[in-house]
Structure 1
Amino acid sequence: PYSFSRRFSLVAWCEASLEILHVHPLSLSVLQELQRGLNAPFTLRQIDGAEFEQRLNAVWQRDSSEARQLMEDLGSAEDFFTLAEELPETEDLLESDDDAPIIKLINAMLAEAIKEGASDIHIETFEKSLVIRFRVDGTLHEMLRPGRKLASLLVSRIKVMARLDIAEKRVPQDGRIALLLGGRAIDVRVSTMPSAWGERVVLRLLDKNQARLTLERLGL
C-alpha cells in the first residue's frame, strides 16, 4: 500500500525484473514484510529522495487509467448520497489495497452533477467539516457534508485520476480527466488549491453535447 511505501521510503519497480527502490537501509522486518507481500524474487537498489518521489508518484498514477475506465460506467453508478453515508471514514485512501469504495463515490458524484446540469463541483475542506457543492446556473448549492476524514481520500483519488502529483500539497495544480457517459464525452478539468485545513478541489465539467443552447433549453 501507499502508506507502507511512504513510511519506509521504498517503492516496487518492475522493468526487466522486480526491484525494490529504497532511500534508507531496510530492516529485516521490512524485508520479511516485502517477501510476504510480493511473493516473488526481487533485488534492492538504493536511490536518493528526489528519485523516490518521482518513482512513487509514477507507480500510483498508473492506477489512473483503471480509474478512468471505471468512470466510463457512470450511467450505472450507485446513489451518490447513499454511498457517502456508507463509506467508512479511513484516514488515507491508499492505506488500503482496495480503494473501490472511494472510486464508486467519485463516480456517483460526477453522475449526480451531470444529472443536475452542474458546471462545477467544489470540494471544500474546513477544520471540522467537508462540504461538496455543485454550481448550477451560476449558483453554488450545498449537496452533501460527508465525514471530515474522507477529505484526504477524495482529494488523493481525484489527483491520481487527473495525473497530478499526489505528494505535492503545498502548491496549486491543474489536470484533466476524460470520461464517457452513455456515449457522451465529458472533459473534467481539475484544479487543486492548498488551504489552512487541507486541499480544496474544483472539478469543471465540460460536456461537449451541451455546448449548443436552444431556445427550449433556455426556457424561452
Structure 2
Amino acid sequence: QVNAKIGLTFGGGLRAILRHDPDIIMIGEIRDLETAEIAVQSALTGHLVFSTLHTNDAPTAVTRLVDMGLEPFLVASTVEGLMAQRLVRRICKSCKKEMKASESEVSSLLPADIQSVWKGSGCDDCRGTGYKGRQGVFELLVVDDEMREMILKREAANRLKKYAIDHGMQTLRDDGWNRVRAGVTTAEEVLRITKSDKY
C-alpha cells in the first residue's frame, strides 16, 4: 500500500522491486513522469515491462508518453508494441435475432459488406436490454523502425495512426465490425465505444 507519510511512494516501491532484478515487470498504470521514467529505464536495462495508460487508441499512447515529459528517443527505443482495448456489450444469446440492416444503416454507418445484423429483442435473461455480458475489442500497433523514426520526429498521433493502418494495423473500429459480422455485438455498440478511423 502506497503511503507518502512514511516515504513509501509508488516510484519508491517500483525502485525496490527493481533491486530484486525481475525479468518481467507489470506496472499497474503509468500516471506520471516518475513512473514513466522508471518503466523506460527498466526497459533499457533489459527488463520486459508491461503497463497500462489511459488513451483513446494505441497510437495516442506514444504522444501521451512524450506529453508526460519522456524524450522521444527514449519512447522510440523502448516501446515494442501498444494495445488498445474497449469492451462492447454482447448480444443476449437467448433473444438474439438476425435481421436485414436498414438502408440508413447500410448507407451511413456500416461497412459495405455488412448487409445483415444481429440484435437482442429483450427477454428475462437480459432483463429486457437485449445485451448480456461483454466482449473485448482490440487494436495492436507494432512499433517498427519507420514508426521509431516518426516518434523521434514527434509526429502527431493521427500520422502514426495513418502509418500503422497503411501497414496492416486493425483499428478498434475494424475489430468491432468483425464482432458485428460474427453476431457478437451491434453496430450501435461499436459506434458508441470507438472513434472514427479518419485521420
Same fold (TM over 0.5): no
TM-score (ref. length: structure 2): 0.31
Q: Which has the higher contact order (CA 8 A, sep 6+)?
A: 2
Question: Which is strand-richer, 1 or 2?
Answer: 1
